[in-house]
Amino acid sequence: MKVTEHHSYVLIKLEKKTKIEDLLDFLERCDRNNSLIIDLLNANIPDNLIVSKLLPFHFIWQKTNNSFILVSNISKKMINDMVSIKTLEEALDFFHMEQLTRNI
């Protein structure tokens, strides 16, 4: 798992060997005042496990008015209320648009 902190968000890139527990531990300790973009494209974790484990964190970040964006190929039917975008570039664009909208 690679974590990159930027000015207004944290980018988390999961690798094939990353376990869901590693991500969950990081999210438990993470500063909830930053937005998150989690790149799951290379992760070797079942989609249903990702959704069930990350949905509570999505709600926590939503309450703090910060973004919680997944970069994944998880189907829209399965993803519930979370934001899932197919590419990192589109996720970054979406994040910046959310930031602009919040500042208006």
Distances (CA, A) of 9 to 37, 40, 91: 7, 16, 12
At residue 104, the pLDDT reads 72
73: closest CA among 58, 56, 85?
85
Instruction: Tell me if 36 sits within 8 A of 60, measured CB to CB.
Output: no
pTM over 0.85: yes
CATH of 2-103, one of 3.30.70.2740, 3.30.750.24, 3.40.50.300, 3.60.21.10: 3.30.750.24
At residue 81, the pLDDT reads 86
Instruction: Tell me if 12 sits within 8 A of 23, measured CB to CB.
Output: yes
Could you say which residues of the chain have pLDDT below 70?
A: none
